Amino acid sequence: MKSEEFSYKKNILYLVFESFCKFNLKSQLANPVMFIVYIGAIIVTIIGTTSIYDAAIKEGEFSYFIWSIAFFLWLTIFFANLAEAIAEGKGKAQAESLRKTRKEVMAKKLKDPKNHDNFELISPCLLKKGDYVFVEAGDMIPIDAQIIEGAASIDESAITGESAAVIRENGGDCDSVIAGTKILSDWLLLRVSVNQGESFLDTMIAMVEGAKRQKTPNEIALTILLSALTLIFVLVTATLFPFSNNATALSGNSGVLSITVLIALLVCLAPTTIGGLLSAIGIAGMNRLAKANVIATSGRAVEAAGDVSVLLLDKTGTITFGNRQAANFIPAEGISEKELAEAAAMTSLADETPEGKSIVTLARSLGVQIPDIDTLDASFIHFSADTKLSGINLKDRQILKGADDSISTHLKNLGGIISANVEKIVHQIARSGGTPLVVADDTRIMGVIHLKDTVKPDIKNRLADLRKMGIKSVMITGDNPLTAAAIAAEAGVDDYLAQATPETKLKYIRKMQEGGQLVAMVGDGTNDAPALAQADVAVAMNSGTQAAKEAANMVDLDSNPTKLIEVVEVGKQLLMTRGALTTFSIANDIAKYFAIIPTSLTSIYPELKIFNIMHLQTTESAILSAIIFNAFIIIMLVPLALKGVKYHAQSAESLLRNHIFIYGLGGIIAPFIGIKLIDLLLGLFIGKL
Amino acid sequence: MANVFNGQKTFLSFFLHPIEHTFYKIIAVSQNDEMDWKHYAFSIIIFSFLSCFIMGLILYLQASIMGMKPLDPNLIFNTIVSFVTNTNWQAYSPEKDIHQYFQVISIGVQQFFSPAVGICVLIALIRGFTRKNSTKLGNFWVDLVRVLLYVIIPLSIISALIFGFLGVPQDWAKEVTISSLETGKTQNYLVGPIASWTAIEILGSNGGGIFGTNMAHPFQNPNALTHFLGLFLILLLPTSLCYTFGKMVNDTRQGWAIFAAMLIIFVPLTSLTINQENNKISSLSSLPLETHNTSMEGKETRHGIIGSLLWASATTATSNGSIAADHSSFAPINNFLTMFLMQMSETIFGGVGSGLYGMLIFVLITVFIAGLMVGRTPEYLGKKISAYEMKMVSLALLMPLFLILSGAWILLHFLNIKELSVNQGAQVFSEFMYNLTSASNNNGSAMSGITMSNSTSNLILGFLMLMGRFWIIIPVLALAGSLAQKNTVPISTGTLPTHTPLFIFVLIGILLIIGVLTFIPSLALGPIAEHLGLAGAH
């Protein structure tokens, strides 16, 4: 799903329009913190309006102060709306390019699945789950479906961005097709697997658009805490009215705080920074996932990804390349390594399998001259299920390679045996998790080729990163425990599950969950479905079956099993961004107190002015500066909210230390500087307020 | 104590075990009959309501039995609530309003019960942390009996004996006549079961003295040793419960961390109070006084500045509320500090039991914010903190702040505080706020100078005390109930450690920031303005 990068400049008018649309009561009610600002802005506007009226009738002064406060309160809300609109805009652009793929096509609905020619053309909207549809080369797949009959190459670039065609066929793990993809060759008989509106494409569009976005559990908990804090500040500012009233009586000075000042104070204190950016952070998290070509079916799953404590990784494709390669040659007694390498290379000259090629490559690296096949007067023995041997027939001799028992059977016919020494080597290799191939030159045993599954070079570091984050990695493999243990040790996984079957996987996940762990896994096959459904975070490969995709809560369009690690990082980043901005928001309040409280109370108790440590010019400019800072900090932090805080794998303790330092301490200091600067600017432009 | 709460044997079990079981038989509970949080909370309310009812009856009847002047119903309400909620606000005058016999059977009994209830709530919360996939929090009646029998009663007997040994009198309602310092006059003093009363008054963070002047009275607190013992006992249970907490959650580091956070806030503030009173008051320096270098007004010469201020800090930090000096005579900055200690919502040591569960509320808020910052759903002691927990935590956090501020608002509407006080200026507001804070946070100490014992104040303060206690207990128990139902997440390097200096630092930061943000405006109009006024006068 490669879409054009969303351009802010081109869409600025659209974004502004969207932000104004969000001023309606319903959107504002969704966010308690911003709702308080909304109410405050309305009240101050009313006060401002009555002040015009008063000014016209009486000798009253037109209050530029009230109007400036009102303006900046509305601006605060506008900025919060804008942040949300920008985050949504990114998603909308992605959704738009997805929608283009869903061109209006007609579906060939079959009355009888056996008769491919008797169809009626209907709109895909009318298709129901269980209907049969026929598609042939050149058609668009009208709806998500399962292949009942046939095999075809399909262009899925509209969904995955991958231009190479993929083969889809009935049976096995590649039997599902997605609406919006195009069939390039052959034909398919499909059974519709979803109802209209529930298709994969629909889910994707809804998710990236944020239309179906529900608050995640963590977001709800944070909203509760922020609401509680806001409520405290409502009380603090509300009671300041009778308190200051009383203080004037006690001190004999005048200066009861006006409602405008109190509302300004409330808005400054309320955690508007995080409140205004909260939904943008959530949407941006989904977008980051979408950018990594992962579609989550719920925000809850993304958040859970950050909490994952056990990661189940498939051995093949994730930890290893998935094909065995020659690692070294171990010669038999009296034979040099080079001789063995030469013989081994000869057996593999015509072997096109990755294993065969790797043997030739290894031999070449040892300095063996590889003869050209065409110049050799030789015939090749290809691997057959019957003999389980492959090799070469030269003029005078036959060189063969194969598993030790196949070679031994072959030798028995010729009257030879495998020596005890070679047998020992074979066992050693098998025990270490490798595959031994014995090479025989006629009846003479040359030695053993050690084939082993190659661990991906970067996997060890990634697993170490996971460990730093406190995530345990578990390798799942169908191999025997010996092989599994050897590869596990080499890759550095924390645990492995050997000879895994769907049942043992499910049991393992259940056991982990009972111990309080959150389990994430990747799967593609239908037999993975129960385990995927059980896991807390389940990523299905796009190449996988419909059953797997339905059981999972995320789909990886690239079908790259290592993606899971990225998903975990996005989840963590999402929570961290929320935490960091909450801390920043609360830490900001200290400076705002120093700006507003001393200046606004000095008329009651003049001695309080020593707390005006920023030496702000007047009460009005102090309050305005705080309000302006409060509004602009939201828009300044939008990039951080969208990108998320920087994240490196490290322990919780050092992460906390860094974040407290940057967002806690920074949050205390930044507004002191900001408010002072704004105050100076206000003084410059407007003169002494 | 952990053993007591876990129902295991202690060295006292030998002879207390039979008594314990007799109690269970009398109140017909089985030790294994555990309750869920609603049942537990309901039991506490029933128990407190019964306590109120019986106490009300006693206070109502005592006037006719002893032929004393009947008390105002609002004063009775205030007094009952004050003692049942472990506030020990004394709107009545102990020497003249209630006869000593009746004080002992009504107030005295509550001084045992109310701290025990506080500990029970704490135990229930700790069980919430330690239990897995369970709805049960233990049996309130069993916990109550065990706390009283094994902890509070033995400790108070021992301390009463020491108080007696150190010269605190113990007798029954007797008057002694002493010739006054003014020649030719005599004064009458009441003597009563002072030693035992003082013991539980101090130990159970009660603070309602047998004398109106509490620990400033020479009979209750005759010398430096009793003063020291008092200080020790004030802090004994609130601090040692931190250790008990650590013990019960199987990680004593957690208990120490909380204790350290409390201590780090308490010690500097206390030192500051002492330092402030030692400051020369320059406006007095022109007067021919011997002690013009320090500010002795309102303090007992027996205890001096340090003794008085240590007591003041300890009594406000814990929710004890007994006083050893006249708080309205302190330097304004100390009114600020003591008030701030109370406003930290019973977290810095706090009341018996209630202090620690108050602190745990803040720990959960800290864990939540800090937990987000490390990119995990926040968890404390293996329990994930989700929306429901945050709801309860927010309720418990909001309530005391809400009560103080809205209570002040309402009372300002009814009272003209300027006329009620003998002082003037910002000091009046300080006194007013101090007393409201004291009631809402179940502290019970008072800043005299302002008369807050009129009928309206009694009613409203009583209401504040009631809400300040039970509106925290119920969310705390709900929290415990929800935590107990959760599975425990195993600890990994991705888990935020909650015992490190860094966490303690963040916890203190959050405590102070929330406290400061909430109360600075009102404090600015009270003690801060007054302090600056004094400083500015020279």
Task: Give the closest of B385, B394, B529 to A605, CB-based.
Answer: B529
Angstrom distance (rounded) from CA A34 to CA A38: 6
Determine the 3-state secondary structure of B467 from DSSP.
Answer: helix
Element (H, E) at A661: none
Q: What is the pLDDT of residue B93?
A: 75
Confidence of residue B321 (pLDDT cuts 50, 70, 90): low
| Burial (0-12, 13-18, 19+ Cβ within 10 Å), A482 | middle
Counted residue by residue, chain B has a size of: 538
Averaged pLDDT for residues B16-37: 78
Alpha-carbon gap, residue A414 to A473, rounded angstroms: 49
Decide if B408 and A470 are in contact by the 8 Å CB cutoff. no
User: What does the alpha-carbon distance between residue B199 and residue B236 come to, in Å, rounded to a whole number?
Assistant: 12
Question: What confidence tier does A2 reach under pLDDT thresholds 50, 70, 90?
Answer: very low
- Give the contacts of A27 (CB within 8 A, at least 6 positions apart): A21, A81
* Long-range contact set of residues A634-637: C-beta below 8 Å, sequence gap at least 24: A634/A76, A634/A79, A634/A80, A634/A83, A634/A272, A634/A273, A634/A276, A634/A277, A635/A79, A635/A82, A635/A83, A637/A273, A637/A277, A637/A581, A637/A584
Nearest Cα residue to B266 out of B327, B349, B152: B349
* Structure tokens given for B95: 């020497």
**pLDDT category, A577, cuts 50, 70, 90?**
very high
* Catalytic residue of the set A139, A175, A314, A404: A314
B chain contacts of residue A231, beta-carbon cutoff 8 Å: 398, 402
pLDDT digit string, tens, across residues A135-190: 888 788 888 888 888 888 888 776 666 666 777 877 766 778 887 788 887 888 88
Question: What angle do the packed helices A459-468 and A563-601 form, to 10 degrees?
Answer: 40
Mean pLDDT of all residues belonging to chain A: 82
Residues of B in contact with A237 (CB under 8 A): 521
Distance CA B354, CA B351 (A): 5
**Is the model's pLDDT at B289 over the cut of 50?**
no
Q: What percent of chain B has pLDDT over 90?
A: 10
pTM, two decimals, is: 0.81
Interface of B with A in 281-320 (CB under 8 A): none
Least confident stretch, A215-229, A572-586, B318-332: B318-332
Active site residue A314: yes
Per-residue pLDDT, A665: 92
> Percent of chain A scored above 90 by pLDDT?
15
| A438, A641, B127 from A405: Cα distances, Å | 9, 62, 63
From the list A225, A578, A597, the residue facing B524 with the nearest CB is: A597
- Banded model confidence at residue B538, pLDDT cuts 50, 70, 90: very low
Task: Decide if pLDDT at A319 tops 50.
Answer: yes
Q: How confident is the model at residue B291 (pLDDT cuts 50, 70, 90)?
A: very low
d(CA B133, CA B25): 30
Residue A249 CA to residue A252 CA, distance in Å, equals 5
| Tokens 């040659």 sit on residue | A329
**Whole-angstrom distance between the N-terminal and C-terminal Cα of chain A?**
55
Check residue B282 and give its pLDDT.
Answer: 46
Instruction: Provide the ipTM.
Output: 0.87
Residue B283: pLDDT over 70: no
Nearest CA-CA partner of A307 in B131, B78, B489: B489
Residue A402 has pLDDT above 90, yes or no: no
Distance from the Cα of B421 to chain A's closest Cα (Å) equals: 11
Tell me the residues of chain B between 336 and 375 that have a Cβ less than 8 Å away from chain A: 365, 368-375
**Cα separation, A379 vs A40, whole angstroms:** 90
Report pLDDT for A129. Answer: 81
Q: Rounded to an integer, what distance in angstroms lies between the CA atom of residue A249 and that of residue A242?
A: 11
Q: How far is A298 from chain B (nearest CA, A)?
A: 17
Is residue A62 over pLDDT 70?
Answer: no
Short-list A480, A425, A434, A427, CA closest to A455: A434
Q: Which of A285-299, A469-483, B2-16, B68-82 has the lowest mean pLDDT?
A: B2-16
Contacts 24+ apart (CB under 8 A), B290-297: B295/B329, B295/B331, B297/B326, B297/B329
Number of residues assigned to chain A: 689
Residue B476: pLDDT above 90? yes
In the beta sheet, which residues pair with residue B380?
B383
Q: Average of pLDDT values for A479-492? A: 83
DSSP labels, B193-211: SHHHHHHHHHHTT----SS
- Residue A369, pLDDT above cutoff 90: no
- In 3D space, the residue among B380, B306, B374 whose CA is nearest the CA of residue B130 turns out to be B380
Task: Answer whether B405 touches A (CB < 8 Å).
Answer: yes
SS (H, E, C) A147-214: EEECEEEEECHHHHCCCCCEEEECCCCCCEECCCCEECCCEEEEEECCCCCCCHHHHHHHHHHCCCCC
**Torsion sign, CA atoms B490, B494, B496, B497:** positive
Distance of alpha carbon A10 from alpha carbon A6, whole angstroms: 9
Q: Are B424 and B526 in contact (CB under 8 A)?
A: no
The pairing of strands A554-556 and A537-541 is parallel
Do A401 and A342 form a contact (C-beta atoms < 8 A)? no
The Cα–Cα gap between B503 and B367 comes to: 9
Segment B194-247, tens digit of pLDDT: 777 777 877 777 766 666 666 667 777 777 788 888 888 888 888 888 988 988
Q: Determine whether the interchain pair B525/A601 forms a contact, defined as Cβ–Cβ distance below 8 Å.
A: yes
Q: Are A122 and A106 in contact (CB under 8 A)?
A: yes
> What is the predicted pLDDT for the residue at A28?
82
CA–CA separation, B461 and B75 (whole Å): 10
For chain B, give every domain's residue range. Answer: 2-537
pLDDT at B281 over 60: no
- For chains A and B, count residue pairs whose Cβ atoms are closer than 8 Å: 224
Residue A548, H or E segment: helix A546-551
Q: Report residue A502 as tokens.
A: 């769907």
What are φ and ψ of residue A628, in 5° steps? -65, -45
Identify which of B393, B426, B500 has the shortest CB distance to residue A251: B426
Residue B20 and residue B153 in contact, taking contact as beta carbons nearer than 8 Å: no
Higher pLDDT, B300 or A575: A575
Residue B524 pLDDT > 70, yes or no?
A: yes
Give me the residue from A225, A246, A651 closest to B394, CB to CB.
A225
Which percentage of chain B shows pLDDT scores above 70?
83
| Chain B residue numbers touching A233 (CB-CB < 8 A) | 517
Q: Which of A14-28, A113-127, A202-216, B272-286 has the lowest mean pLDDT?
A: B272-286
Strand-by-strand arrangement of the A495-497 sheet: A294-296, A554-556, A537-541, A519-523, A310-314, A472-476, A495-497
Q: How many percent of chain A have pLDDT more than 70?
A: 91
Interface test with B, best of A607, A608, A655, A663 (most B CBs within 10 A): A607
pLDDT of residue B302: 65
Judged against a pLDDT cut of 90, whether residue A73 lies above it is answered with: yes
Whether the CA torsion A336, A338, A342, A345 is positive or negative: it is positive
Residues 6+ positions from B121 with CB-CB distance below 8 Å: B44, B353, B354, B357, B473, B476, B477
- Chain B residues within 8 A of A652 when measuring between CB atoms: 374, 376, 493-497
Residue contact B502–A218, C-beta within 8 A: no
Yes or no, beta carbons of A607 and B535 under 8 Å apart? yes
Residue B144 has a CB neighbour count (10 Å cut-off) of 22
Q: Which residues of chain B are within 8 Å of residue A245 when distances are taken between CB atoms? A: 412
CA dist., res. A474 & res. A452, Å (int): 20
pLDDT at B286 over 60: no
Contact state of A653 with B371 under an 8 Å Cβ cutoff: no
Residue A417 has pLDDT above 50, yes or no: yes
Angle at CA of residue B426, ends A254 and A260, nearest 5°: 40
Max avg pLDDT among A104-113, A228-237, A560-569, B434-443: A228-237
Complete edge-to-edge strand list for the sheet that includes strand A379-381: A320-331, A444-455, A435-441, A398-402, A389-393, A379-381
pLDDT in tens, A594-623: 888 888 888 888 888 888 888 888 888 899
Beta strands in A514-659 (DSSP E): 519-523, 537-541, 554-556
CA distance B124 to B40: 8
The pair of three-digit structure tokens given for residue A463, joined into one six-digit string? 């697993």
CB contact at 8 A, A331 and B512: no
Q: Which residue has the higher pLDDT, A578 or A169?
A: A578
DSSP state, B182? Answer: S
* Structure token pair of residue A664: 């806690």
Q: Which residue of B has its CA nearest to A587?
A: B513
Q: Cα dihedral sign for B139, B145, B148, B149? A: negative
CA distance B90 to A502: 70
CB nearest to A576's CB, from B372, B506, B513: B372
In this prediction, residue B153 carries a pLDDT of: 87
pLDDT surpassing 90 at residue A633: yes
CB B534 within 8 A of CB B330: no
Report the residue of chain B nearest A517, measured CA to CA: B489
Q: Around Cβ B493, how many Cβ atoms within 10 Å?
A: 14
pLDDT in tens, A87-104: 888 777 777 766 776 656
pLDDT exceeds cutoff 90 at A669:
yes
Residues of chain A contacting residue B393, judged by C-beta atoms under 8 Å apart: 225
CB A624 within 8 A of CB A72: yes
DSSP code of residue A554: E
User: Cβ contacts of residue B532 below 8 Å, gap of 6+?
Assistant: A605, A607, A608, A610
The more confidently predicted of residues B492 and A519 is A519
A428-456 mean pLDDT: 84
Band of residue B345 on the pLDDT scale cut at 50, 70, 90 = low
Put simply, the answer to whether B394 touches A576 (Cβ < 8 Å) is no
> How far apart are the C-alpha atoms of A258 and A51, rounded to whole Å?
13
Q: B236: how many CB neighbours lie within 10 A of its CB?
A: 17
